[in-house]
Each structure stands twice: as structure tokens, then as C-alpha cells.
Structure 1
């Protein structure tokens, strides 16, 4: 009697095991989402540009929405994370830590985040699950990680932060003013000198409010 066929393996959602292949997929996906938005971006085109099969993308990310979430997660995870080049965020020196976080967040807000935001505005209301996933993997994640750092600095006595999540939201919001709006509208962006001045002032204002 013939044995029944073995069940097909379930998709392994997440990143491909090959880091270089993963990087190619995420970079190609980011470009297509930025250029075409979430709805019009083509998984076939992303796979072709990355040099992989369409099935490779689906087996690792599950869906186009899953791939978009992975792109957002990849771009936001380094904002507050400890990195080999910058080292850990030091609770003993919050001003230095906030300058590092602000630098990374401002670079994200002026670059990759703009395309992602435009993509989500295009499907707002029509795809609530995709919008919620974007919010959780992007803004909510960064805000939560910064709040965790502020909580540690408060415990160390170097900051006085009664509401870490609110304080984190206020700090990050200082980078989402007119320059960010101009970027969303594809108008002329602030130059590096303006951004450096904004960064210094944001940290100064935050430390004036929450410094121990």
C-alpha cells in the first residue's frame, strides 16, 4: 500500500538563513515599496532584482505584507539598539546617548521612513492590518525601546522621567516637524547643517526638561 505523501513544509517566516541573500531581498523590497507603494509593488519584480525566486520570498516572509513588515523592522531596529561601532547606550551619560539615538532616528526620518510612510498613507483605511503592523514594527517599536532606555536612566539617577513612554514620544516628535513634512511631500529637504542644529536643540530641550 502506497504511503501518503509527506505534508509540505510550512513557510518559515522571518529572514533567509543566507545573510547576503536576505540583504538583497530587503534592499530590493525597500526600493520597490518606496517607488510603487505597498499595493503596487510586485513580488515578482522584487525577486528578480534580488536574484531569488518568488517562492524564496514567500517561504521566508509569508506574504508581501510580511516582507514589508520585515523591511520596516530592519530599518528601525538600529535606532536605539546597541551597535558594535557606537557601543551601548550609557545611562550615565544620557546627553551622549540621546545624541546617538537622535542622529539615527533623524537619518531614518529623512530617508527610508519617508517611502514607508507614503506607502502606508496609500492604503490607510483599506488595509488596517498592514497599517497596524507597520505602526507596531516602526513607530511603536522605536518609542518603546527609547522608553526602556529612559526608564533605566531614571533608575540610575541621571534623568528624572516620570512617564518614559510620553518622554520618548516627545523626544522623537521633535524630529517630525516641517522638514519631515517637506520630505513626505517630496519638497526640498533640510540640509545637513539644519539637521545638526535641530539635533543639538532637541537634546538640549529634552535635557532641560528631564535632566537630573
Structure 2
């Protein structure tokens, strides 16, 4: 809808109301998950949140900005440990990677995240800004956070990594194979046992490739 694409400039005035912002985010998450980015309406989101559309645009510059905030919030909730990558011990990369992999696997298997992948793949030709927001707050952010940890592990001598971002991309990519494709196609998903086996093997392979030789 055209009115969802064009936002008025943000207004200055009273400080933001956290409860009102929470309602907007919850309504936006519900509509984006149920209808995808393209079909979700800012008018409908505003109605469900009990606010005006102008209020939404006072918090977010555009529909794309609201969508990006929803993706960022989801990543924060599921990947709390990775978002706080500075707290991970660079001298124990095996342990850290098990935690990171488990969190990422949870995110990659979430039906909400899979639904966003499905809807954006179908709209990629016409929804460039939405796809960019999804990439920026999803893959790009997670790869960058993991690369930062890998640089620290390399500096401590626990790993030997010449290209940390490439290595981070390779590690996370190991969780986007068969199980992820089955999820996108809405087929039976891997069970807990399969996920644990995948996690252990991914860490084993990564450490075999990058662990510092004794």
C-alpha cells in the first residue's frame, strides 16, 4: 500500500513511551510473521497496537525501519550470548562455538524466521529495502559478531585464522543445510538428537581447521 511506503518526518515532543513502543513491536511482529513484509499494513499494525499511524512513524522512519527493528529484536532475544560476544572466553573457542552454534541453530529453526525467509525470497525483486534490512540485522550482524570473537581467539593464540569474517561465515553456514531447507519447504524438521549431532560435528570440523597447532 502506498501509504505504508511514505513516512512523514519524525516529530519532536514528549519522550517515547516504553509501553506504547512494546505494543507497536508486538503488533508489527504479529503482522509481519502472519502476512510477510509486502502484505503487512502499517494501518493494521497501528490499529492493533492502539496508536495512530503517525505515532508509529514518530518511532520508525518507514515501514522498512519498523521491519528492521522487529528483525533486530528477534535476533537480540534468541542470540543474546552472541550479541554479547565480548563476554565469550577467547581462550576456549570450542566451548564458545558450541554455545554460539546452539543459539544460531535455534534462530535458524524458528518458524517466524523461516517464514520471513520464505516471504522475502518471493518478494526480493520488488522489496530491496526490506531484504537489505533482513540481511543487515540477521546474517551480516551475526557474521560480524562471530568474526569479532574469532579475531580475539586468534590474538590469544587459541585459533589461527587469517580471514575471520570468512571463517565466521563458514561456521554459521554449516547450520543452513538440509534441516534449514526442510524448514523452508515446511517439511519434517530434524529432531533434537539430529541437531545436537550437527552442532558437535560443526564445532569439531571448525576446530580441526582452525585450532592452533600444539
| TM-score normalised by length of structure 2 | 0.84
Aligned residue in 2 for 1:61: 60
Is residue 41 of structure 2 the alignment partner of residue 39 of structure 1? no
User: Contact 1:33–1:115 at 8 Å: present in 2 too?
Assistant: no
Specify the SS of the correspondent of 2:83. coil
1:19 and 1:161 mapped to 2: Cα distance? 42
Query: Per-residue deviation at 1:10?
Result: 4.2
Aligned residue in 1 for 2:119: 119
Is residue 99 of structure 2 the alignment partner of residue 100 of structure 1? yes
Shift in alpha-carbon separation, 1:63–1:165, aligned structure 2, 3 A: same
Aligned residue in 1 for 2:51: 52
User: Contact 1:72–1:134 at 8 Å: present in 2 too?
Assistant: yes
1:74 and 1:151 mapped to 2: Cα distance? 26
Specify the SS of the correspondent of 1:138. helix
Aligned residue in 2 for 1:4: none
Q: Which has the higher helix share?
A: 2
Which stretch of structure 1 is more off in the superposition, 153-162 or 29-38? 29-38
1:21 and 1:187 mapped to 2: Cα distance? 38
1:44 and 1:117 mapped to 2: Cα distance? 24
2:152 and 2:31 mapped to 1: Cα distance? 39
Shift in alpha-carbon separation, 1:198–1:27, aligned structure 2, 3 A: farther
| TM-score normalised by length of structure 1 | 0.84
Deviations 1:112-170 (A, max 9, x none): 32122122112111122322232122111111111111011100111111110110001
5+ unaligned residues in a row in structure 2: which ranges? 1-7
Pairwise CA RMSD: 2.1
2:156 and 2:18 mapped to 1: Cα distance? 37
Query: Per-residue deviation at 1:28?
Result: 2.5
Aligned residue in 2 for 1:204: 204
User: Contact 2:151–2:164 at 8 Å: present in 1 too?
Assistant: yes
